[in-house]
Amino acid sequence: MALEIPNVFHAACAVNGLGAASFVINVGCATVTRAGVGDYTLTIANPIGTTEALALAVIGSGLTGVINLLTLSTTQVRVRTFDLAGAALDTVWGLVVFKVA
């Protein structure tokens, strides 16, 4: 009997947040905008219920910092990035969204 894993992947992206935000890798994300230093809004192409989504985010490989996510709607996530002292930081980051319900 084979192990079956449901298709839970919803969207993923890697973002170059240095200056004007832009996608480095994009699967299922519509837009990314930068509101200020370390402050981004990511729009996902297909809505997903806030109670059925799991979003994981990371600072770019080899870089240091802290990342914070806030769900704004069924299609938008606010991403904030900070240095280790807590100051807002423009950096490279990535996000993956899974459907868990």
Distance of CA 8 to the CA centre of its chain: 16
Tally of structural domains, the chain: 1
Q: Give pLDDT tens digits for 21-77.
A: 999 999 999 999 999 999 999 999 999 988 888 899 999 988 899 999 999 999 999
Kindly tell me if the per-residue pLDDT of 5 is higher than 60. Answer: no
Helix (H) or strand (E) segment spanning residue 79: strand 76-82
Domain extent for 19: 10-99
Q: Is 5 within the bounds of a domain?
A: no
Q: Is 56 within the bounds of a domain?
A: yes
Q: Is 95 within the bounds of a domain?
A: yes
Q: HSE-up of 14 (CA within 13 Å, CB side)?
A: 6
Q: Is 2 within the bounds of a domain?
A: no
In the chain, the amino acid numbered 99 is: K
Q: Is 87 within the bounds of a domain?
A: yes
48 secondary structure, DSSP code: -
